[in-house]
Amino acid sequence: MEAIINLAYIAAAILFIFGIKMLGKADTAKRGNLISAWGMGLAIVVTCINPDFGNKFLWIALAFIIGGGIGAFSAKKVAMTGMPEMVALFNGVGGLSSVLVGWAEYVRVFSAAHPDAPDLAAVSPEGTLTTADLAPHFSAFTMSVIFLAVFIGAVTFTGSIYAWGKLSGKLGGSAKTFPGQKAFNALLLLLTVGCGVLFPIFPDGQTGLLLLSLATLGSLLLGIFGVMPIGGGDMPVVISLLNSLSGLAAAAAGFVIVNNVLIVAGCLVGCSGLILTVIMCKAMNRTLTNVLFSGFGSTQSNQQVEGEMKPMTVDDAYYVLESARNVVFVPGYGMAVAQAQHVVKELAELLEENGAEVRFAIHPVAGRMPGHMNVLLAEADVPYEQLCEMDQVNPTMELVDVAIVIGANDVVNPAAADDPSSPIYGMPIINVHQARTVFALKRGKGAGFSGLVNTLFFRDNTRMIYGDAKATIAGLVSQFKDK
């Protein structure tokens, strides 16, 4: 039976690997997601029939049904604007589960090590078990992975909850800093890790219980104070990093309960999330350390913005687009808020029928989670061939007749190139300011989620089209159909 279970776990791991591989392309991503889900389903079913669990498989099956039902309901009901918050919550739940697994294993060993433990009879009916007999259970390796599962999981849990609060607007999107914050976080990390170092040395008795409790509390606080100084513009990187941490926490939990498939799945999630985090940091020309500790968004640029925003009506915008032969759409979070992706695709098709070349320029950190814009456009069945990365579209931007910016801010802000005092200075952007004409679709004149003023809106070649993006694009679509 054990051989069958291990073979099934290997099959599940292979499905995970193929599923993640297929997520790399828009046309295979949906199938890859389903393959990974089948792999996890197989792992859960095999775990349920493991004879080592006795009659506990009923509890596992019940949890599978309840959890799967909640997940399916949430995924069905969540709007695309709420997808980043849901991803943050999923990361947090994954971290919390690792904390519970670590604590459950420690409590099991701790209880069995003491004669007055309520469940001792189940471990040693004769009541002759001593702490020395449980020395292998209190091994340094087992206690170390318990600490890692609790430490990484707790940081992921509270960090994800705080990220959810930022993304949903309940805690504000700007970075929050206070004097001595870095020193405080460093001291908190040092104390938490110190408890983790001492825990495998003194795992038993009240000392071990106190050390793990303090480590848990410190880890929970680290998650909060670690995300607090990170500004809204960096949230896609934070979500990716928290996703990686949730995988590492799951891998540590796999070592705790000696479950091979959990170790493999956790390592896959942790490594892929970390790789994505590095890619996104590179796209912003910043290090991960800078993202985590710079307090992005807590300070404003000293640059004096010259000029004024110049509004344009939908009717006037139509006449410009009607003669355009090269059009680039640059989507941002505003497109998700307006749910404008379907009318954007319709406008793109009408522009192509009118003889224009149409492309969609996607910045790696556009939106509020990794791949946010790609998911939106895929939902509207925008051809994958029309999606262009930043490096592909920038060299030809001067030849673009009209660049339509839909709710994007930092990823098109020229201050990143010409304002050394700007927090985003040096960050690669989509150079829409080089296009002949720029249409910036915004609800109002306020700054974006990061709180930074976008100097693009004050450029001579930029025209502001205020209002709901979906209504604006629908108006342009109507104009093309009527005329």
Confidence of residue 115 (pLDDT cuts 50, 70, 90): low
Can you identify the CATH homologous superfamily of domain 314-482? TPP-binding domain (3.40.50.1220)
Q: What is the pTM of this model?
A: 0.78
Question: In sequence order, what are the beta bridge partners of 327?
Answer: 358, 402
Half-sphere exposure of 172 (CA within 13 A, CB side): 11
Q: What is the pLDDT of residues 165-210, one digit of tens each?
A: 888 778 776 778 888 888 999 999 999 999 999 999 988 778 888 9
Helices then strands, counting H and E runs in the chain, come out as 18, 6
Q: Residue 141, SS3?
A: helix
pLDDT at 448: 58
The answer on pLDDT for 128 being more than 70 is no
pLDDT at 121: 39
Q: What is the pLDDT of residues 361-420, one digit of tens each?
A: 998 888 777 778 888 888 888 888 888 888 889 999 999 999 999 988 888 888 888 878
Q: Which stretch of 108-122, 176-190, 211-225 has the lowest confidence by average pLDDT?
A: 108-122
Mean pLDDT for the chain overall: 83
CA distance 289 to 272: 19
Structure tokens, 274 = 């970390």
Structure tokens, 222 = 């680290």
DSSP 138-158: T-HHHHHHHHHHHHHHHHHHH
Residues 116-120, mean pLDDT to the nearest whole number: 48
Residues 14-21, mean pLDDT to the nearest whole number: 90
Cβ-Cβ contacts under 8 Å for 202 (sequence gap 6 or more):
208, 211
410, 370 in Cβ contact below 8 A? no
Half-sphere exposure of 204 (CA within 13 A, CB side): 15
Q: What is the pLDDT of residues 19-61, one digit of tens each?
A: 888 887 767 888 888 999 899 889 888 887 777 666 677 787 7
CA distance 82 to 367: 11
CA distance 228 to 462: 35
Structure tokens, 444 = 């109002």
The answer on pLDDT for 343 being more than 60 is yes
CA distance 51 to 63: 18
Q: What is the pLDDT of residues 232-280, one digit of tens each?
A: 667 778 888 898 999 999 999 999 888 888 898 899 989 988 888 888 7
Of 52, 410, 468, 482, the catalytic one is 410
Structure tokens, 187 = 């001291």
Where is 129: in which H helix or E strand?
A: none
pLDDT at 122: 44
Q: Tell me if residue 418 is catalytic.
A: no
pLDDT at 383: 86
CA distance 480 to 255: 61
Classify residue 270 by burial, with Cβ atoms within 10 Å: 0-12, 13-18, 19+.
Answer: buried
Residues 67-75, mean pLDDT to the nearest whole number: 86
Domain coordinates in residue numbering, the chain: 78-293, 314-482
452, 300 in Cβ contact below 8 A? yes
248, 254 in Cβ contact below 8 A? no
Task: Please report the beta strands in 238-373, taking only residues with DSSP state E, as ranges in sequence order.
Answer: 326-331, 357-362
Q: Which stretch of 26-30, 110-114, 275-279, 286-290 has the lowest confidence by average pLDDT?
A: 110-114
For 100-132, b/e burial (b = at least 16 CB within 10 A) is ebbbebbeebbebbeeebeebeebeeeeebeee
pLDDT at 336: 83
CA distance 89 to 68: 15
pLDDT at 152: 95
